[in-house]
Amino acid sequence: MKSTKIVVSLLGVVVLALSGCGTTSSSSQGGTSTSAAPTNADLKCTLTIAGPQSQAWYIQNCVQDFLTANKYDNVKFKMMALGEDKADTDITDWTTGPDVYAFASDKLMNLKKAGALSTVPSTYATKMTTDMGETSVSAGKIGDTQLGYPYAGDNGYFLYYNTDLVPANQTDTFEHIVAACASKGVKFAYPFNTAFYSMGELMTWGANYTVTLKSDASGIASIKGTFNTDKGLKAAKAMKQMMDNPNVSYKSGCQAAPTSANKIGAVVDGSWSAASYTSALDVKDADGKVTGNKLGACKLPTITVDGETKNIASYLGYKEYGVNPLVSGTDTARLALDHALANYLVSESVQSGRFDAFQTAPTNKTVAALDKVKNNICVNAINEQAKYAIPQTVVPAGVWKAPDSLYAGLDDKSISTDAQITTALVALNTKVEDINAK
């Protein structure tokens, strides 16, 4: 039995002649009924499209454009709010779930096990590889099976800062950032209470995990973590150094636009906050016209522990669309329509529009090459940080609870010595390696 090891280290509108969705078409000539070739207008069903509430207005417009352009006159749809990071937990009955939904790439295995992912048709998968490249497309694969349609390559985080509070030449090191913040009476916000951020930081010195899949890629065979090593210890000591600094805000709710009013000079966050942060730091004249902006963005800083300096690490994954086969059941026409729609939602035109609306880093190579994308500070920041990021492919479920005890102990100071940190890391590593963690 051979196992597969994973080491953690777009398309145009397709017009399909579909039958089904509960309808048929017929015509009568001379009293004789004969079957007529069904058209898109013959289809009758109501689709459910799920994704982040903040993007609902844009996706709703895209779906309507797709249905109208392809003359699906009798196909209706409704929008459902669903966080990309909660797709595998917020829906328990996928037979009544959405037809097409957005999800974060680390949820791929859980969604497959739930039966909520239909295999991407080979024509679409091949075209995606051409339009996006193998790296992006592989984020939607388990083994050799393509299950997701990647639409964003920025499911990670970086440093935002206010150029009036933290000059660009002081964003290179943790020490420089907190000194700049201290001089202005503001803080550096780093949400260590959330595993997405704390686990990324704990990989800074090279601690990691290796996931081995079952031979048929149906699940995880084993997990090996190395957080209970000197590499994990140095990273945990770096976290302690940051949490102990009075100029760092690290608890729930600490993320906000870096402004004097918010008492934040720099904040670790993702591109999903780009639009609101940009607006908060707009410079306007007396007439309310925007004349400039004070928002800066770059990779995370370096930090030094025991005389060794490393760039702080992070997680970096993709956001994708999935097609749920359980809601369509035996209706192959509805399933084909769902795939055609998901395919459209990762197309060049939709990705370009999504970037305009939300500054989302595209997976489509043509869109990524546009000046508006190349010159975007957030896209450049995520690309800089990618050199120090750990790809989110198959992430062990235990990861998302693993750092809780370490964080709590560092917060209340019950964990402070190297020996206490080491003990906490042994427990953390065990949680990471738990295949059955929920």
Is residue 352 included in any domain, yes or no? Answer: yes
Evaluate whether residue 333 is within a structural domain.
yes
Residue 123 belongs to a domain: yes
Within-domain flag for 438: no
- Per residue in 13-54, pLDDT (tens digit) is 333 333 334 433 333 333 333 445 668 888 999 999 999 999
Q: What's the pLDDT tens digit per position in 90-107? A: 999 999 999 999 999 999
Q: Report the distance separating Cα 190 and Cα 197, nearest Å.
A: 8
Q: Terminal CA-to-CA distance of the chain, rounded, Å?
A: 27
Residue 218 to residue 109: CA distance in whole angstroms: 8
For residue range 176-204, what is the model confidence (pLDDT) as tens digits?
999 999 999 999 999 999 999 999 999 99
Which structural domain, as residue segments, surrounds residue 310? 156-316+381-432
Question: What 3-state class would DSSP assign to 409?
Answer: helix
Q: Render pLDDT for 51-69 as a digit per residue (tens, 0 to 9).
A: 999 999 999 999 999 999 9
Identify whether the C-beta of residue 187 lies closer than 8 Å to the C-beta of residue 247: yes
Query: Do residue 171 and residue 111 come from a single domain?
Result: no
pLDDT for 417 beyond 80: yes
d(CA 278, CA 34): 61
Chain position carrying tokens 């908060």: 280
213 and 309 co-located in one domain: yes
Task: Establish if 22 belongs to a structural domain.
Answer: yes
Let me know whether 145 and 221 are in one domain.
no
Verify that 92 and 168 share a domain, yes or no.
Answer: no
Could you tell me the CATH number of the domain that includes residue 147?
3.40.190.10
Whether 219 and 150 share a structural domain: no
Asked if 51 and 324 count as a contact pair (C-beta separation under 8 A), the reply is no
How many structural domains compose the chain? 2
Share of residues in the chain with pLDDT > 70 (%): 91
What is the pLDDT, as a whole number, of residue 36? Answer: 59
Query: Is position 334 within any domain?
Result: yes
Q: Are residues 368 and 424 in the same domain?
A: no
Domain boundary among 378, 395, 416: 378
Same domain membership, residue 303 and residue 192: yes
Q: What percentage of the chain has pLDDT greater than the value 90?
A: 84
Task: Name the CA dihedral angle for 302, 162, 317, 85, rounded to a multiple of 10 degrees.
Answer: 130
- The answer to whether position 437 is within a domain reads no
Helix (H, G, I), strand (E, B) or coil at 165: coil
Q: Do 168 and 299 lie in a common domain?
A: yes
Are 416 and 336 within one domain?
no
Among 189, 226, 187, 385, smallest CA distance to 302 is for 385
Report the predicted TM-score, pTM, of the whole model to 2 decimal places. Answer: 0.84
23 and 113 co-located in one domain: yes
